[in-house]
């Protein structure tokens, strides 16, 4: 019986491309932990399609370094999970949402989130280029961690935009996510760099939240009030959102074009439809636009670094709207139609451009039945310190729904 056939009785939401029911384990700090891996990360002997029909028969010859590190730590690799093809998307439309059936599971690491949410994995690896670990975590009420750019190796990962690609972790339990991240990250010289005192300095954007749905704004204000009772809330001037998104788009399209440009026309025709629609857009990115975008990205990274001279963490909603319907292309925000892509990446993409570590956390308060997700970001290089800070917030977040302005 194939791995895919083994998965069918259990995998009712379609999380897995291939499932390994009898995955071996070994001794180590992650002994017995069940790990699913996104299908753009190589797992020896399993499909490595990145969601493209062109690669439907491709099988990984060797483990990516991130997979090897987890095996060496004792984890069980239980299979590979569906993705938006090539990472071109944020909804993984073929995968259902176990937490909120009928609503998007998020993406592009949607299969990884579904594998955890349905109980077939304890944690899952995903990749995050504009929010693709944190978004599905938010859509399913899970924890999602994106590291500092470059801290976790991308070798053996099918790329989308090397400037922004990060391997990350999705899990139900913060301890599982933290231990998995520690196995991937190795020693962290900045582990104590975030906490200035038991009373954290938490930065929030001083600008109006006009890009967010009113229900998201209200839930976020409840969280801020709750946290403000124990920590210091510091209003900040964040980098201008449109500027960040424009730079991200130009760099991503240019780099994605470089990844696929060696393919013959017949091969391009066998890529997934979403890639076929996205790649031609790179023709609109001129050399001057790309130079300007890279300059903006470098400036944004410095600007975010400077913010951490005043705060220990930066807090925002993870996504800007309640979890959209599964096949929605647009959502209504404050009476205006907004693309689902924008609504889901607007708050996450900054930290791909700046490269800072970020964590999506679920609150007790729910929006349309899904736990409201907040995003916290930390200093560059202080990944484990960020994870160490999260338990200082979670006792408050569990009761955020009980506090009102």
Identify the pLDDT of residue 193: 58
Identify the pLDDT of residue 196: 54
Instruction: Please give, one letter per residue, the 3-state secondary structure of 317-340.
Output: ECCCCCCCECCCCEEEECCEEEEH
Q: Has 132 been annotated as catalytic?
A: yes
Q: How far apart are CA 283 and CA 266, in angstroms?
A: 19
Q: Identify the active-site residue in 132, 178, 278, 373.
A: 132
In the DSSP assignment, the letter for residue 36 is E
Q: Which tokens belong to 334?
A: 């404050």
Q: Identify the active-site residue in 7, 38, 112, 146.
A: 38
Which H helix or E strand runs over 274? helix 273-278
Q: Identify the active-site residue in 108, 112, 178, 354.
A: 108
Q: Exposed (0-12), middle (13-18) or buried (19+): which is 189, by Cβ within 10 Å?
A: exposed
Q: Exposed (0-12), middle (13-18) or buried (19+): which is 402, by Cβ within 10 Å?
A: exposed
- Residue spans of the chain under pLDDT 70: 1-9, 188-197, 399-405
Largest CA distance in the chain: 61
Cis peptide leading into residue 364 (ω within 30°) = no
Q: Are 192 and 144 in contact (CB under 8 A)?
A: no
N-to-C CA span, the chain: 57
Identify the pLDDT of residue 397: 81
In the DSSP assignment, the letter for residue 270 is T
Which H helix or E strand runs over 184? helix 174-185
Identify the pLDDT of residue 8: 47
Which H helix or E strand runs over 146? strand 143-146
Q: Has 221 been annotated as catalytic?
A: no
Find all residues with CB under 8 Å of 400, minimum gap 6, and list them: 219, 222, 223, 226, 363, 364, 365, 372
- Residues facing 145 on adjacent strands: 169, 359
Q: How far apart are CA 156 and CA 169, in angstroms?
A: 16
The domain ranges of the chain are: 3-185
In the DSSP assignment, the letter for residue 87 is G
Identify the pLDDT of residue 24: 87
Residue 101 CB neighbour total at 10 angstroms: 12
Q: What are phi and psi of 322, to 5 degrees?
A: -60, 155
pTM above 0.75, yes or no: yes
pLDDT, one tens digit per residue, over 132-172 is 999 999 999 999 999 999 999 999 999 999 999 999 999 99
User: Looking at domain 3-185, what is its CATH homologous superfamily?
Assistant: Amidase signature (AS) domain (3.90.1300.10)
Q: Has 108 been annotated as catalytic?
A: yes
């Amino acid at each position: 019986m194939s791995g895919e056939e083994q998965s069918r009785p259990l995998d009712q939401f379609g999380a897995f491309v291939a499932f390994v029911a009898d995955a071996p384990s070994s001794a180590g700090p992650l002994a017995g932990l069940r790990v699913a891996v996104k299908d753009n990360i190589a797992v020896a002997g399993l499909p490595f399609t990145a969601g493209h029909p062109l690669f439907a028969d491709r099988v990984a010859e060797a483990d990516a370094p991130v997979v090897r590190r987890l095996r060496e730590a004792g984890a069980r690799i239980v299979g590979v999970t569906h993705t938006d093809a090539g990472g071109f998307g944020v909804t993984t439309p073929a995968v259902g949402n176990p937490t909120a059936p009928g609503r998007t599971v998020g993406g592009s690491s949607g299969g990884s989130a579904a594998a955890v949410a349905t109980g077939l994995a304890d944690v899952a690896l995903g990749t995050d280029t504009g929010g693709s670990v944190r978004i599905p975590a938010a859509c399913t009420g899970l924890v999602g961690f994106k590291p500092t750019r470059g801290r976790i190796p991308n070798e053996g990962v099918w790329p989308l935009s090397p400037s922004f690609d990060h391997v990350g972790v999705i899990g139900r339990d913060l301890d599982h996510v933290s231990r998995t991240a520690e196995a991937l990250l190795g020693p962290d010289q900045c582990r104590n760099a975030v906490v200035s005192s038991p009373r954290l300095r938490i930065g929030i954007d001083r600008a109006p939240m006009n890009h967010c749905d009113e229900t998201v704004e209200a839930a976020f204000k409840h969280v801020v009030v709750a946290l403000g009772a124990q920590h210091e809330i510091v209003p900040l001037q964040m980098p201008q959102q449109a500027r960040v998104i424009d730079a991200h788009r130009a760099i991503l399209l240019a780099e994605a074009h470089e990844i696929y440009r060696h393919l013959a026309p017949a091969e391009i025709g066998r890529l997934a439809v979403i890639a076929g629609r996205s790649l031609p857009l790179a023709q609109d990115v001129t050399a001057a636009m790309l130079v300007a975008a890279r300059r903006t990205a470098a400036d944004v990274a410095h600007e975010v670094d400077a913010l951490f001279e005043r705060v220990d963490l930066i807090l925002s909603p993870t996504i800007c709207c309640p979890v959209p319907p599964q096949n929605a292309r647009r959502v209504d925000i404050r009476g205006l139609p907004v693309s689902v892509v924008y609504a889901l990446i607007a708050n996450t993409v900054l930290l791909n451009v700046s490269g800072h570590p970020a964590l999506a956390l679920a609150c007790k308060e729910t929006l349309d039945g899904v736990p409201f997700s907040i995003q916290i970001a930390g200093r560059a290089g202080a990944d484990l310190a960020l994870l160490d800070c999260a338990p200082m917030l979670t006792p408050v977040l569990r009761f955020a729904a009980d506090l009102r302005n």
